[in-house]
Structures are given as structure tokens and as C-alpha cells.
């Protein structure tokens, strides 16, 4: 018995070391992503030249007409290139930006280094989660500390899967790594809980089913929220170009490299729509578990209420997004409100509200 307890304690210590080590590697990835954005920026002349010589921009530019006068010498008249800056309704005629690397060799090099470091950090963090599970001999999400370290691991996994599927998501890397560092920082300082604390209601196979799906949903909702937030910035940037307003140098350097607003809008919608059925299953699974543990399927517990509020918020977003009059910014605001509900359900309910889902001190 003492040997088993010592082994579990060593595994818990190993888990902590791996989590802190992953934070160190994520920090290196953070600086590499910053270097990607910095060295990937171009001067105004360089951006203009790239826009005029790029394949997509050249295809949308007006043809250069050269007229040679019959008398009075040769005169070349060049039509001003037609640069489309905003998508028309129901179409997308704005080409995506070159990405965080800005189409430069040095920016791309730092971006690849950042992704490689993110992969290493993910593997180290996943090892920490597995070690935590081995130390407690159960699913590693019995309290908010475990939920947090698993949540950020799954979020990075979703990002890397999209990268492996050749999706253009490297522009998300800096914000993702920053969020993961914040999540792990809060988990290791504020939410840390000893590995042996577990309330009796959580001793169930539903812990593997219900909480794991909640973590997956939260991670994917987070990616959708990042895309939605950046869509609002990019859409405002395209609006300024359409109205003839000159955006600031920071907007030119950063927002011009993001995917087009229409691309971000479509990406966030598809991400949220894809995971919404799983969130529905999560609530149903929680109700079944509540029936087994507490003898009732629904009891208006704060966690249950806010899970349902989150479901309603995302349902309203998906309905609004599918309605012609609510596409664009209005639907995007609903998506951010819905993710805000999920965040409050994650942090606020467990920390500030007392209920049956308050466990392990948090």
C-alpha cells in the first residue's frame, strides 16, 4: 500500500514537472510566433507590389491597355488596376491574406519553428495529463485543475489536426499559444488541487463520457470564437478600404495578412455547427448521469442551467447564421455571447456559485 501511494505521488510530481515544462516550450513557441508576424510584415511598397503581381490580385485587376498615338509620338496610357476589397452578398471576391508569415521566407521559417515547438509542447503537456491520470487511476478531469490542463491540451490538438488536414489556420497560432499559457498559468496557481480529491458522485463511467465531450466541445468552441473575433476585425478593415478610409499601419501589417472576412465567417460557422450536436449530447449525457447519481435528471442546478443557456445561445447563433438577414456581424456577436456563456459556465459557476457541481474546492 505504501509502495502504491509512493508510486502515485511520484506520478503526480512527474505530471507537475511535465506541465511546467510544456509551459516553457509554449513560451518559446509564443516568441517564435511573434517573430513570424514581425519578420513577415512588409513595407507598404512591398505589399502593393505583391498585390499587383500576385496571381489572385492580377486576375481581378483590370487589363493594362497601351495606346500608341498615330501622331505626336508614342504615349502609354495605363488604366488603374481594379482592386476588389469587399465581398458582394452571396459571393467571396476578396482573396485571403498571405498568412502570418506574410509570404516572406524569414517569416515562414519562424512560423514553422513555432508550429514545431507547439507540437513538442503539446506532446509534453499530453504526457503530463496522462501522468496525472495514472497517479489518480481515473479520468484526469475530476476537478477544475485537471479540466483546465486537459482542455488546453485538446484545444492544441484540434489546432494541430486542422494543420495536418492542410487547413489554413497558422494565423491562429499566436492567439492559441497565448491562451494556453494563460490557461495553464491559472490552472497551476489558482486552480491547483491535490490529485487524491474526488467526490463520490464522480465515481462513475459517465465521468469519461460526459466530461470528455464537454472538454472537446469547449476546445472547438474556443477555436470558433477566435475565428469569429478575428472576423470582426477583418470585416472592419475591409469596410474601411471599401469606404476609402486609410487603415492604420498596424491594421495593414496584421489584418491584411488574415484570411478574408468571408473566409473567417464561414470557418467559424462550420466549426460551431460541427460541434453543436456533440454539445447537445453532452447535456443529455449529463442528465442521464444526474439521474444515476442524484435520482433526478434535471434539478435546476447552476451548472445545468448555464449549460442549457449555452446550448440556447449557440442554437440562436446557428439559426441566425442560417437566416439571410442575420449573416455577418450580427451573427458573430451572437457567437461571441454564446462562447461567453460557455466560459462563465466553466469558470464562473464553479468558482462563484455553489451547487452540486462544485467539487474539489472549486
pLDDT surpasses 80 at 341:
yes
Angle value at C-alpha 270, between 33 and 243, nearest 5 degrees: 70
Separate counts of helices (H) and strands (E) for the chain: 13, 0
pLDDT surpasses 70 at 336:
yes
Question: pLDDT grade, residue 12 (50/70/90)?
Answer: confident
Q: CA-CA-CA-CA torsion for 143, 144, 145, 150, nearest 10 degrees?
A: 90
**187-193 average pLDDT score:** 90
Q: What residues have CB less than 8 Å from 84, skipping those under 6 apart?
A: 60, 93, 94
pLDDT surpasses 90 at 322:
no
The whole-model pTM stands at 0.83
217, 278 contact by CB (below 8 A): yes
Task: Spell out where 121-246 has E strands.
Answer: none
What percent of the chain has pLDDT above 70? Answer: 80
Question: If you average pLDDT over every residue of the chain, what do you get?
Answer: 82
Identify the CA nearest to 306 among candidates 220, 240, 214: 214
Lowest-pLDDT range, 128-137, 198-207, 256-265?
Answer: 198-207
**C-alpha count within 13 angstroms, C-beta hemisphere, residue 68:** 1
Higher pLDDT, 167 or 67: 167
The DSSP call for residue 226 is H
pLDDT digits (tens, 9 = 90+) for 226-270: 999 999 999 999 988 888 888 888 888 889 999 999 999 999 999
pLDDT surpasses 90 at 308:
yes
Identify the CA nearest to 61 among candidates 34, 32, 82: 82
Q: What residues have CB less than 8 Å from 315, skipping those under 6 apart?
A: 276
272, 221 contact by CB (below 8 A): yes
**C-alpha count within 13 angstroms, C-beta hemisphere, residue 109:** 4
Tell me what pLDDT residue 144 has.
87
Amino acid at each position: 500500500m505504501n509502495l502504491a501511494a509512493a508510486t502515485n505521488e511520484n506520478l503526480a510530481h512527474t505530471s507537475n514537472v511535465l506541465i511546467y515544462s510544456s509551459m516553457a516550450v509554449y513560451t518559446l513557441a509564443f516568441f517564435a510566433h511573434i517573430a513570424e508576424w514581425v519578420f513577415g510584415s512588409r513595407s507598404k511598397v512591398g505589399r502593393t507590389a505583391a498585390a499587383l503581381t500576385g496571381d489572385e490580385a492580377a486576375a481581378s485587376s483590370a487589363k493594362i491597355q497601351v495606346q500608341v498615338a498615330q501622331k505626336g509620338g508614342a504615349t502609354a496610357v495605363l488604366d488603374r488596376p481594379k482592386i476588389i476589397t469587399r465581398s458582394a452578398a452571396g459571393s467571396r471576391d476578396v482573396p485571403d491574406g498571405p498568412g502570418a508569415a506574410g509570404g516572406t521566407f524569414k517569416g515562414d521559417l519562424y512560423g514553422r519553428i513555432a508550429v514545431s515547438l507547439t507540437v513538442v509542447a503539446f506532446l509534453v503537456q499530453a504526457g503530463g495529463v496522462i501522468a496525472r491520470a495514472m497517479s489518480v487511476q481515473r479520468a484526469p478531469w475530476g476537478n477544475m485543475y485537471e479540466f483546465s490542463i486537459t482542455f488546453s491540451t485538446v484545444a492544441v490538438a484540434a489546432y494541430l489536426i486542422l494543420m495536418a488536414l492542410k487547413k489554413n489556420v497558422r494565423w491562429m497560432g499566436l492567439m492559441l499559444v497565448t491562451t494556453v499559457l494563460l490557461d495553464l498559468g491559472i490552472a497551476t496557481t489558482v486552480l491547483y488541487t491535490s490529485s487524491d480529491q474526488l467526490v463520490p458522485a464522480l465515481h462513475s463511467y459517465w465521468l469519461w463520457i460526459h466530461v470528455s465531450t464537454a472538454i472537446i466541445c469547449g476546445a472547438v468552441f474556443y477555436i470558433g470564437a477566435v475565428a469569429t473575433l478575428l472576423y470582426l476585425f477583418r470585416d472592419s478593415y475591409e469596410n474601411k478600404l471599401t469606404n476609402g478610409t486609410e487603415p492604420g499601419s498596424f491594421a495593414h501589417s496584421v489584418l491584411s495578412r488574415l484570411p478574408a472576412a468571408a473566409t473567417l465567417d464561414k470557418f467559424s460557422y462550420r466549426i460551431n455547427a460541427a460541434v453543436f450536436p456533440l454539445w447537445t449530447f453532452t447535456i443529455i449525457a449529463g442528465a442521464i448521469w444526474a439521474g444515476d447519481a442524484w435520482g433526478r435528471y434535471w434539478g435546476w442546478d447552476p451548472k445545468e442551467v448555464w449549460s442549457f443557456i449555452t446550448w440556447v445561445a449557440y442554437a440562436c447563433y446557428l439559426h441566425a447564421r442560417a437566416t439571410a438577414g442575420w449573416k455577418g456581424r450580427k451573427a458573430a456577436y451572437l457567437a461571441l455571447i454564446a462562447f461567453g456563456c460557455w466560459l462563465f459556465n466553466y469558470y464562473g459557476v464553479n468558482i462563484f456559485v455553489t451547487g452540486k457541481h462544485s467539487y474539489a474546492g472549486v
